[in-house]
């Protein structure tokens, strides 16, 4: 029950995008807060549609956290690959929003 109250309160506590307010256009990070909220609500497809880079970013953070506790072979290469995937999806999503 407390989780539902937190989720309802989270909608009201989201930070506004200053780029969108001042320039009238989305920034590369627009949608990440709503995407995380969709994840907490179990709306996995909606989270991806809102911000496609959410899953590589979560994978990167999860891997970095796991690497702190266990020494993983080739951890540097894996984390760089996840970073490149995340940045690529962020930029592709941003360019797609600019074109459409």
Tally the domains of the chain.
1
When pLDDT is averaged across residues 78-98 and rounded to a whole number, the result is 92
Range of the domain at 18: 2-99
Assess contact for 57 and 29: CB atoms under 8 A: no
The predicted pLDDT at position 16 comes to: 79
The predicted pLDDT at position 69 comes to: 92
Q: What percent of the chain has pLDDT over 70?
A: 88
How is 24-81 classified by DSSP, letter by letter? SS--TTTTHHHHHHHHHTT-HHHHHHH-TTHHHHHHHHHHHHHHHHS--TTHHHHHHH
Asked if residue 65 has pLDDT above 60, the reply is yes
Instruction: Please give the model's pTM, rounded to 2 decimal places.
Output: 0.78
């Amino acid at each position: 029950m407390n989780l539902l109250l937190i989720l309802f309160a989270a909608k009201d506590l989201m930070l506004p995008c200053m780029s969108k307010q001042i320039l009238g256009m989305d920034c590369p990070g627009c949608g990440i807060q709503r995407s995380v909220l969709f994840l907490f609500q179990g709306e996995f497809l909606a989270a991806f549609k809102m911000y496609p880079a959410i899953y590589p970013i979560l994978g990167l953070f999860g891997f970095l956290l796991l690497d702190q506790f266990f020494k993983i072979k080739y951890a540097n290469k894996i984390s760089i690959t996840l970073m490149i995937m995340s940045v690529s999806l962020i930029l592709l999503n941003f360019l797609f929003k600019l074109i459409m």
